Structure 1
Amino acid sequence: GDVSGYRADRVIDAQGGVIMPGFVDSHTHVVFGGSRVDEYAAKVSGQTPPAGVPVGITGTVATTRAATAEQLLQESSARVREMVNSGTTTLESKSGYGLDSKHELRLLETSQRLAETMPADIVSTYLGAHAFPADVEQDRYVDEVVDLIPEVAERGLAEFCDVYCDEGYFDLAQTARILSAGLDAGLKPKLHLDAYGHTGAAAIAIELGAVSVDHLNFTKDAELRALGDAGIAGVYMPCLEYSVAHSRPLDPRRVIDAGMELALATDICPGCWVTDMQLAVAMACRTGGLSVAQALRAATHGSARALGRQESVGSLKVGMQADVIVLDVARHEDVAYRIGRNAVTTVIARGAVVEGFLT
């Protein structure tokens, strides 16, 4: 529209710094309880984690179930504050550490409370199919995941439905059933795809019209091209691969070369406690071989595509939501070059300067 007559009531001096869209973090598990620091400390030194400490997804399920609703909100709010502090203005929030109907709903309700209280836009995803609980037969748990979908949709607790389809997790038939049930209820599909082995589930993503597929470590080039032809974004998480010492890191250039929109995310979770998209950009360049421009696009417009938000966030142009960050560096390449510091000095979310977070 015509803004020639607009007069600002506040002027922000960027002092020659970089001005860019707020970061969009398109894959996070930001709502959980507890920590797996003991597991991490043991593994990085080549040791077996001591008996009794939380290990893996099921370990976090136990600590998450044990937390009160207020503890979950407090711990998750602190992580979201860190994300906003480092320039993230839109983020996804998955459930997945409840693994039963009661606790999955509580995680989604926590995401809803975060969306109501945080300056960032929070996009909720139902990931009841994150893993199988140890005390429930697998097909019976799939029934429970599917049975919860209508309530999740009716209460507006999620926009997306996600499944972890991989070796040792949900198989092709289970994945198709859950995502189809979500689609029938109005939840758009996402997939954790081929992180630790090739599954062939790219075909399901294409058939059901997934918005994004995430991980892609073992996805074949022909499948990537087909996903690109279908307009499905591919989400790359170098911080996770670093944190878990992944044996086969994704080459994100394969995703771009296949014609897919590449998205970049932190994958903040108990196994990858990273809230800073600036670090994700730096790692995408050094460990993934991306140019800084490619990484920044993936961290903004690409991630917006992975959340179906590309018409409102992820770029600076007329008509877009005013999510803007100012950085105290002279060149955009400095975001990847000057590692280990927060370059963000101003965060504007939904057109308003975020006050009280940059502390």
Structure 2
Amino acid sequence: MPSADLIIVNASQIITCLPRGEDRLGRVAGGVAVRGETILAVGDLHHVDTSSATVVDATGKIAAPGFIDSHSHLVFGGSRVSEYAARLTRPLAEVQALGIPTGIIAGVNMTRAASADDLAAAAAERLRGMLRCGTTTVESKSGYGLTLADELKLLQVNRRLQSSQPVDIISTFLGAHDFPRDVSREQYIDLVIHDMIPQVAAQKLAEFCDVFCDEGYYTAEQSRRILEAGLAAGLKPKLHADQYSAIGASSLAAEMGIVSADHLNYTDRAAARRMAEAGVVGVVTPALDFAVRHPRPFDARALLAEGVTLALATDLCPACWVESMQLVMQLACRLHRLSPEEALLAATVGGARALGLADRGTLAPGQLADIQLWNVPTFEDVIYRLGNNAVERVIKRGRVVFAG
């Protein structure tokens, strides 16, 4: 009889996120048994030796997989609060006329000015907030450096954070986030391809390579060159696609069969269908659309109708300071017409697929024991109680790492 190190008992409901008949969330009764970092059993625990296990009493609580936040810019310096506040009542041109720094470059300048210690401390505080809200895995992009030294600094902070706190960090190189203003665009693309990517790969600082493919940023052909260079160096491809225009990003994503294409505000249904056929996950960011008052919010129903697997993500960044995946789910349901079940699957299983992770996102034997307990009577209350934090406890790799 296998023995457990930790068991969760008396939960009112266990949401496995593995479909069971007509129940898309695979809700079961019973408990969860954990051994080491992984789940030993879910539901019936009679075949498990629990005599020496730590007992987590989940009376009145709902157990669910930890959230997987598949798109964030976790490490950055400063804040764009002055810009955010000014743009609530003024157009961008008027804000810029006031001398308030705006846009990605504003974040770049503040990040370059920050030390690695300061960046790590600020990102660690954000991670604590994410963990308290149920996130157990987060993707963290560079992109606010735009020099070799600064991009490496951001990715090295990711590595430092991974070893100093419980949330798993999946690191993405996004040197092609914008263009610096002191070199030509072609010079910078050459720097990304011939200097940054080789250094990132040699130091094993990232798993993915991402490009901001959009009008005014990187063309589809430039994006292809960078992603192919990343692939050659062992970095799996991702893409900021169709956020503010349709210049072929989602079609490129489908053609290359990349892991995920993110944002998708201007993705038409034909491109969405090609993405689905190629197995490209669509990562959507309702909090970003809300924060910037996006003129064309992504159409979740159209993407789903064409067969795209969706993942929800915070897009935590200087323009969208959101740490809670619960808030992201609430916005996805209210503003983008996802059902509560669709939102949870996109925040767990979908997030895992968007990061190529097969060992998390569900509660099943052999999966990582990344589990959150919600102090609500029904699953739908997580969506209904706007702005609330339903999380009472978080277990990461078999250890209780947050108890509210």
Q: Higher mean Cα deviation, 335-344 or 271-280?
A: 335-344
Distance 1:54 1:335 in 2: 37
Distance 1:173 1:251 in 2: 26
Distance 1:18 1:280 in 2: 19
Q: 1:180 maps to which residue?
A: 228
Residues 180, 208 of structure 1: 8 Å contact kept: no
1:235 counterpart (270, 279, 283): 283
Distance 2:354 2:101 in 1: 31
The residue identity in structure 2 corresponding to 1:284 is: A
Identity of aligned residues (%): 51
Q: 1:14 maps to which residue?
A: 58
Q: 1:295 maps to which residue?
A: 343
Residues 178, 217 of structure 2: 8 Å contact kept: yes
Q: Does 1:37 align with 2:85?
A: no
> 3-state DSSP class of the match of 1:140?
helix
Residues 69, 110 of structure 1: 8 Å contact kept: yes
> 3-state DSSP class of the match of 2:378?
coil
Residues 30, 269 of structure 1: 8 Å contact kept: yes
Residues 172, 210 of structure 2: 8 Å contact kept: yes
The residue identity in structure 1 corresponding to 2:352 is: A
Residues 326, 345 of structure 1: 8 Å contact kept: yes
Deviation, 1:260, is: 1.2
Spell out the pairing of 1:1-150 with structure 2 (5 A cutoff).
4-7=47-50, 8-46=52-90, 48-49=94-95, 51-147=98-194, 148-150=196-198
Residues 54, 63 of structure 1: 8 Å contact kept: no
Deviation, 1:172, is: 1.4
The residue identity in structure 2 corresponding to 1:13 is: D
* 1:213-261 deviations in Å (ceiling 9; x for gaps): 0011111101101110111100111000000000000111111111111
* 1:317-349 deviations in Å (ceiling 9; x for gaps): 111000000010011111110111211011001
Larger Rg: 2
TM-score by length of 2: 0.86
Spell out the pairing of 1:152-231 with structure 2 (5 A cutoff).
152-231=200-279
Deviation, 1:52, is: 4.3
> 3-state DSSP class of the match of 1:304?
helix
Q: After the TM superposition, which segments of 4 or more aligned residues of structure 1 sit over 6 Å from their partners?
A: none
Deviation, 1:6, is: 2.7
The residue identity in structure 2 corresponding to 1:37 is: V
Distance 1:86 1:240 in 2: 18
Deviation, 1:107, is: 0.4
Deviation, 1:64, is: 0.4
The residue identity in structure 2 corresponding to 1:321 is: L
Q: Does 1:342 align with 2:386?
A: no
Deviation, 1:54, is: 3.0
Segments of structure 2 that go 5 or more residues without pairing to the other structure are 3-39, 41-46
Higher strand content, 1 or 2:
2
The residue identity in structure 1 corresponding to 2:294 is: H
Residues 130, 164 of structure 1: 8 Å contact kept: yes
Residues 278, 336 of structure 1: 8 Å contact kept: yes
Segments of structure 1 that go 5 or more residues without pairing to the other structure are none
The residue identity in structure 2 corresponding to 1:10 is: T
Spell out the pairing of 1:307-346 with structure 2 (5 A cutoff).
307-309=355-357, 311-346=358-393
Deviation, 1:155, is: 1.0
Residues 201, 234 of structure 2: 8 Å contact kept: yes
The residue identity in structure 2 corresponding to 1:316 is: L
- Note the aligned Cα RMSD (angstroms): 1.3
Residues 255, 278 of structure 2: 8 Å contact kept: no
The residue identity in structure 2 corresponding to 1:33 is: G
Distance 2:246 2:113 in 1: 35
Deviation, 1:26, is: 0.5
> 3-state DSSP class of the match of 1:354?
strand
> 3-state DSSP class of the match of 1:353?
strand
Distance 1:145 1:332 in 2: 45
> 3-state DSSP class of the match of 1:12?
strand
* 1:50-84 deviations in Å (ceiling 9; x for gaps): 64433110001110000111000001110011001
> 3-state DSSP class of the match of 1:197?
coil
Q: 2:30 maps to which residue?
A: none
Distance 2:99 2:369 in 1: 47
